């Protein structure tokens, strides 16, 4: 208990009273009670509002991705809009027969059509897809993998450890930088090797240049053993027909599901939240009999996604089939011409001039930037972009806004890269920059 200036004891507020004073934070009262109790116990009552704000900011919240990394892993990768009314959902109910159905049926049919596959199924991420394929098709048997593809990617996902967990046995093939089809043939013919499949892994987030050689899916398909191609990033079709034009140059070496299957892969596995531009999910597509064996394996139930993911994925696959870029925000960002990005940047600066005056707008500079796909997709490649730069490190100020804006700092300047910002958020960007560079003539409401 603290003392007042005249020495009299000052009784701290009750926990309930302090918690109620934090009501404007919007947090549930039980949480505010805990925050208030901690502040009182620490003898720091004045910190209670800041503690409530810090707690609220730890909750998941929509943000504006202005980093120039389109598939930012820390920001949920592909942006997806999905909602449904608070009603039951026909997750495993057949509306035609009135009997139990399969949650895999609709999404599986749509994905199979998009991939040129006989069948497809969905699990909760690509690591799960690889694990399920190995467990269902190779447990107790051998799986040749190139040493150059025996990789670790994000979250300590290591190919050798996943193979071990599945019950299969890894057979190392070739060298780190060069693996030829003859190396696979020799490994398969080695005494004691019982090859259930060949696993070809897309390295995703790293690249080896120089004196290198790898074996194609078409070459592997000649060896008489099923080929499973983990293409990782989830490009459905190298021809990108949903874009209605020439595929982006930066996709040049990115493996695609349709072409991998056409080249002889028995199965492909890939992520749903990267180049597929959907929710987090893992997809297994290809030979119908092999997909069915995966679907009936005991792990399939443990790895299956819920109705919300299946609904969102269905929405995304329908957008592909309709050639609807508005339903594929990632690809809409990819397809935006640089000239349009520059025009948007100029409009944002003009809006800042209206809000903060010409002096404030003069602190901004429109610059050329390079955006990247992100999330391990097409490692090492960039795409032309346009950004707005403001002096100093303004990242904390931008994050403090509603909605928070996530940017990057380069050469002592904060940069808003418009390649990863949808046009609908341009006003949010303008208002944020106006607050940073000067006081607006009339305080705007943040959208």
Average pLDDT of 125-141?
96
Q: Which of 328, 357, 392 is at the close of a domain?
A: 328
Q: What is the pLDDT of residue 213?
A: 83
**Contact present, 334 and 378 (Cβ < 8 Å):** no
378-424 pLDDT, tens digit each: 777 889 999 999 999 999 999 999 999 999 999 999 999 999 999 99
- Residue 89 is assigned to a structural domain of this protein: no
- Better-scored residue on pLDDT, 393 or 446: 393
88-126 pLDDT, tens digit each: 999 889 899 999 988 888 889 999 999 999 999 999 999
210 in the same domain as 321 = yes
Q: What is the pLDDT of residue 439?
A: 47
Q: Is the pLDDT of residue 207 over 70?
A: no
- Residue 210 is assigned to a structural domain of this protein: yes
Domain of 34?
A: 24-59
222 in the same domain as 185 = yes
Q: Which of 328, 360, 393 is at the close of a domain?
A: 328
Q: What is the pLDDT of residue 376?
A: 75
Of all residues in the chain, the percent with pLDDT exceeding 70 is 93
- Residue 16 is assigned to a structural domain of this protein: no
Instruction: Write the CATH number for 378.
Output: 3.90.1150.180
- Residue 97 is assigned to a structural domain of this protein: no
- In whole angstroms, give the CA distance from residue 75 to residue 65: 7
- Residue 18 is assigned to a structural domain of this protein: no
Binned at pLDDT 50, 70 and 90, residue 13 comes out as: confident
Q: What is the pLDDT of residue 10?
A: 62
Binned at pLDDT 50, 70 and 90, residue 210 comes out as: low
146 in the same domain as 53 = no
Residue 417: partners with Cβ closer than 8 Å, 6 or more residues away: 66, 67, 68, 369, 371, 385, 386, 387, 407, 408
Average pLDDT of 127-135?
96
311 in the same domain as 375 = no
Beta bridge partners of 386: 368
pTM for the whole thing?
Answer: 0.90
Q: What is the pLDDT of residue 137?
A: 98
Q: What is the pLDDT of residue 239?
A: 95
- In whole angstroms, give the CA distance from residue 289 to residue 275: 26
407 in the same domain as 386 = yes
Sign for the pseudo-dihedral over CA of 79, 85, 90, 91: positive
180-206 pLDDT, tens digit each: 999 999 999 999 999 999 999 987 666
217 in the same domain as 74 = no
Instruction: Write the CATH number for 171.
Output: 3.40.640.10
45 in the same domain as 187 = no
Q: Which of 300, 328, 356 is at the close of a domain?
A: 328
- In whole angstroms, give the CA distance from residue 385 to residue 375: 18
- Residue 207 is assigned to a structural domain of this protein: yes
Q: Specify the number of domains making up the chain.
A: 3
- Residue 443 is assigned to a structural domain of this protein: no
- Residue 162 is assigned to a structural domain of this protein: yes
363 half-sphere exposure, CB direction, 13 A CA radius: 17
74 in the same domain as 43 = no
């Amino acid at each position: 208990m603290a003392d007042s200036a005249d020495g009299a004891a000052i009784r701290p507020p009750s926990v309930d009273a302090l918690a109620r004073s934090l009501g404007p934070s919007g947090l549930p009262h039980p949480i505010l009670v805990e925050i208030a109790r901690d502040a009182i116990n620490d003898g720091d009552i004045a910190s209670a509002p800041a503690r409530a704000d810090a707690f609220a900011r730890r909750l998941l919240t929509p943000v504006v991705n202005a980093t120039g990394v389109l598939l930012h892993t820390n920001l949920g990768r592909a942006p997806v809009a999905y909602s449904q009314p608070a009603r039951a959902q026909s997750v495993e109910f057949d509306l035609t027969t009135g009997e139990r159905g399969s949650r895999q049926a609709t999404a599986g049919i749509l994905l199979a059509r998009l991939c040129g596959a006989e069948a497809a199924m969905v699990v909760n991420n690509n690591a799960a897809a690889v694990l399920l394929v190995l467990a269902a098709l190779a447990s107790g048997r051998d799986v040749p993998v190139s040493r150059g593809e025996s990789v670790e990617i994000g979250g300590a996902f290591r190919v050798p450890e996943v193979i071990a967990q599945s019950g299969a046995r890894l057979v190392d093939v070739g060298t780190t930088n060069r693996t030829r089809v003859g190396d696979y043939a020799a490994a398969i013919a080695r005494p004691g090797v019982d090859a259930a499949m060949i696993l070809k892994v897309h390295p995703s987030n790293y690249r080896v240049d120089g004196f290198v050689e790898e074996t194609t899916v078409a070459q592997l398909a000649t060896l008489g053993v099923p080929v499973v191609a983990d293409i990782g990033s989830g490009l459905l079709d190298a021809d990108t027909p949903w874009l209605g034009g020439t595929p982006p140059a930066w996709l040049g070496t990115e493996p695609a599901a349709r072409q991998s299957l056409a080249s002889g892969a028995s199965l492909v596995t890939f992520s749903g939240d990267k180049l597929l531009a959907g929710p987090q999910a893992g997809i297994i597509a290809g030979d119908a009999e092999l997909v069915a064996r995966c679907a009936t394996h005991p792990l399939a139930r443990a790895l299956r996604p819920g109705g919300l993911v299946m609904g969102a994925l269905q929405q995304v696959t329908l957008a592909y089939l309709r050639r609807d870029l508005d339903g594929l925000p990632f690809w809409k960002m990819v397809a935006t011409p640089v000239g349009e990005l520059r025009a948007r940047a100029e409009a944002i600066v003009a809006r800042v001039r209206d809000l903060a005056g010409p002096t404030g707008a003069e602190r901004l500079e429109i610059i050329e930037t390079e955006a990247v796909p992100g999330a391990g997709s097409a490692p090492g490649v960039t795409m032309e972009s346009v950004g707005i730069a403001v002096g100093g490190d303004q990242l904390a100020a931008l994050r403090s806004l509603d909605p928070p804006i996530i940017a990057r700092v380069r050469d002592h300047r904060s940069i808003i890269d418009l390649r990863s910002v949808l046009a609908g958020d341009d006003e949010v960007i303008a208002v944020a920059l106006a607050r940073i560079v000067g006081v607006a003539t009339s305080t705007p409401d943040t959208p």
